[in-house]
Chains A and B, each alone.
Chain A
Amino acid sequence: MNTAVLILPTTPRSRSYWTVVGRHVLRDPVTMLSALVLLLIIAAAVFAPWLAPADPYKASMLRRLLPIGSSGFLLGTDELGRDMISRLMYGGRLSLLMGVLPVLIAFGIGTSVGLVAGYVGGKVNMVIMRTLDVFYAFPSVLLAVAISGALGPGMSNSLIALTLVFVPQVVRVAESVTTQVRKLDYIDAARMSGAGALSIIRVHVLGNVLGPVFVYATGLISVSMILASGLSFLGLGVKPPEAEWGLMLNTLRSAIYLNPWVAALPGAMIFITSMAFNLLADGVRSAMELKR
């Protein structure tokens, strides 16, 4: 048999930084599993009206707190006899929204402010960063509760509260990455070519700052979900009978001795979803550090 291997003089296709990162992520089983789990949860939430087996708001005194695996109610029922699996699917809509939306807004605001602070530097940087340091004096949970409490209960108010909690954190990361990038020689080379600050930021700074900040923000989604659930739990967020994981956890609290498994379900959903977001962010971050 002919065992000789023919090596063709191939020209390897040029791969951008993100192609390399993408390859590493695809080879990482933990990250891929987290992505898959997230995809399933998001799909279940988005398509809840079509997928849910029952009406999530239809209560019945006759079938309260059915255990997991009851016929017709796969994951049992809650303290008002509402179908758990449907409520969990519908609850995912609000919980995911409360997880993603504040982080997304904070990402937009925080990156812009951080870029300005990092690129301009000097006194501007000092004023911006020291002002934001005030927010750091409080633990984020306390800050969220305080702002939310001051604004009053309701979903939009807790969205605002969470956004305010995350803005300083995103600014800090964006500022430090920008400061690092700014010192690199290619920025000096761009300045030598006579480019203006806006052009340099757009072409040379932004592309190198967005990645790390975005990954950091992905890690914040889990925190946001937990904080949002916490606010709902305390009665500052979503109001009953709305389905939301944190609120469900609160209302099922009284049933924890009667039917602990059902009562734990919303908590498990929060745990799994935030873990998945965290592991995904970690995976992408380590893939990004591979090749520099």
Chain B
Amino acid sequence: MISMDRGGPAQPLLLVRELRKFFKVRGGLFEREKRQVRAVDGVSFNVAKGETLGIVGESGCGKSTTARLIARLMSPDSGELIFDGDGVGQFGGMALKDFRRNLQMVFQDSFASLNPRLTMLETVAYGPQVHGVPKAEAWARAEALLARVGLAPEHFGTRYPHELSGGQRQRVNIARALAFEPRLLILDEAVAALDKSVQAQVLNLLQELKAERHLTYVFISHDLHVVHYLADRVMVMYLGQVVEIGPVKQLYEAPRHPYTRALLSAVPSMDPAHRTERSPLSGDPPNPINPPSGCRFRDRCPLAHARCAVEMPLLRETTPGHLAACHLDELP
């Protein structure tokens, strides 16, 4: 197939550079000023081959928009994607259609992501059929995939979405995403709507599939436990920007950015002796239409000082592979 490793293991599978997407807010008829929501504002990161990159952040921080921009379900205002050395949609680069074959997405709402009028086999076989795979072959492939994700095709193949449980539906969504043998899978809150026990099963399935098919995951979640379990590296987003990115162990044990610290201390501890009483963050995130000047986190930051209001901190490598965007990092 076209999913072929080209640049070798050292070359990142996906490079995201200065991705930017502003949404225009419809003002009133007489409103002169055009307002914009800065949903994703200059996001850059790499995804290495075979890794799982977790993206975390509060709701509204631009996680899902970033996912949709990468999947090109939306076109970015600016920024570029480089997939295994080829610029996506660029002259001399990779066509959007080829890119999409290499990248698939699993959505949060398992029900909304399945057409209620199609059986499970029809759903999984649809994609390959669109790409000209003969019907019999597409169906055979769909049956094999359903079996692989743990749904007996003779039992579930002719069923409709409303006859399946949430976990089963999400397995079908995973099967559909795998129908192209993609190299990169974006999991947008893919297990968030599932019960804890079902969640664990689906996570294990994802781990198995990753090893077996040499997949790379971008795993978006607000559940820090799940990210800790699954991810190799973690990226923390706040109001459309990356505030910290680093290896999972390092980021969880020694977070650099005050926001990451606050997020991590807000996680309920499994150990009753370590439960905190105070709430680490107060208030809602500021309105992304009018983000604060300088550092976007300064309104809620316990360590904010004069410089934070003036200058926007840039992502800076603190220890190898670990980047954070905070002025305090410069202090000795």
Contact = CB atoms under 8 A, between A and B. Distances in A.
B162 A291 contact: yes
17 contacts: A14-B159, A14-B160, A16-B117, A17-B160, A186-B114, A188-B68, A189-B176, A192-B71, A192-B100, A192-B105, A193-B131, A194-B127, A196-B130, A203-B118, A203-B126, A204-B115, A207-B115
Contacts of A11: 155
Contacts of B6: none
Contacts of A193: 100, 104, 126-127, 130-131, 176, 179-180
A52 interface: no
Contacts of B158: 14
Nearest to B117: A207
Given A16-B160, A193-B100, A188 B115 contact: no
Interface residues of B, number: 35
B304 to A, nearest CB: 39
A191 interface: yes
Interface of B: 68, 71, 73, 97, 100-101, 103-105, 107-109, 112-119, 123, 126-127, 130-131, 155, 158-160, 162-163, 173, 176, 179-180
Contacts of B100: 192-194
A275 B108 CA distance: 44
Interface residues of A, number: 25
B7 to A, nearest CB: 23
Given A14-B158, A194-B131, A195-B127, A208 B112 contact: no
Interface in A9-57: 11, 14-17, 20
A199 interface: yes
Nearest to B122: A203
Given A184-B112, A189-B173, A14 B163 contact: yes
A289 interface: no
A17 B73 contact: no
B112 A185 contact: yes
Contact of B117 (A17, A20, A194, A199): A17
A203 B119 CA distance: 12
Q: What's the dominant secondary structure at chain B's contact region? A: loop
Given A184-B112, A204-B115, A195 B160 contact: no
Contact of B113 (A20, A189, A199): A189
Given A14-B119, A189-B105, A189-B113, 11 more contacts: A16-B117, A17-B160, A184-B112, A184-B113, A185-B108, A185-B112, A186-B123, A191-B73, A192-B73, A194-B100, A194-B131
Contact of A195 (B68, B118, B130): B130
A194 B97 CA distance: 6
A204 B107 CA distance: 17
Nearest to A196: B130
A185 B73 CA distance: 11
Contacts of B101: 194
A189 B107 contact: yes
Interface of A: 11, 14-17, 20, 184-186, 188-196, 199, 203-204, 207-208, 291-292
Nearest to A18: B117
A17 B116 contact: yes
Contacts, number: 81
A125 B114 CA distance: 26
Nearest to A206: B117
A191 B126 CA distance: 11
Nearest to B98: A194
Nearest to A199: B130
A17 B161 CA distance: 9
B105 A190 contact: no
Contacts of B68: 188
B190 to A, nearest CB: 11
Contacts of B116: 17, 208, 292
A15 B112 contact: no
B112 A186 contact: yes
A188 B162 CA distance: 19
Contacts of A189: 105, 107, 113, 173, 176
A188 B127 contact: no
Nearest to B127: A193
Please give me the 7 A-B residue pairs with the lowest Cβ-Cβ distance, nearest first.
Answer: A193-B127, A185-B113, A185-B107, A207-B117, A195-B130, A185-B112, A186-B115
B211 to A, nearest CB: 23
A291 B109 CA distance: 17
B155 A188 contact: no
A146 to B, nearest CB: 32
Nearest to A189: B113
Contacts of B115: 186, 190, 203-204, 207-208
Nearest to B99: A194
Nearest to A12: B163
Contacts of A186: 112-115, 123
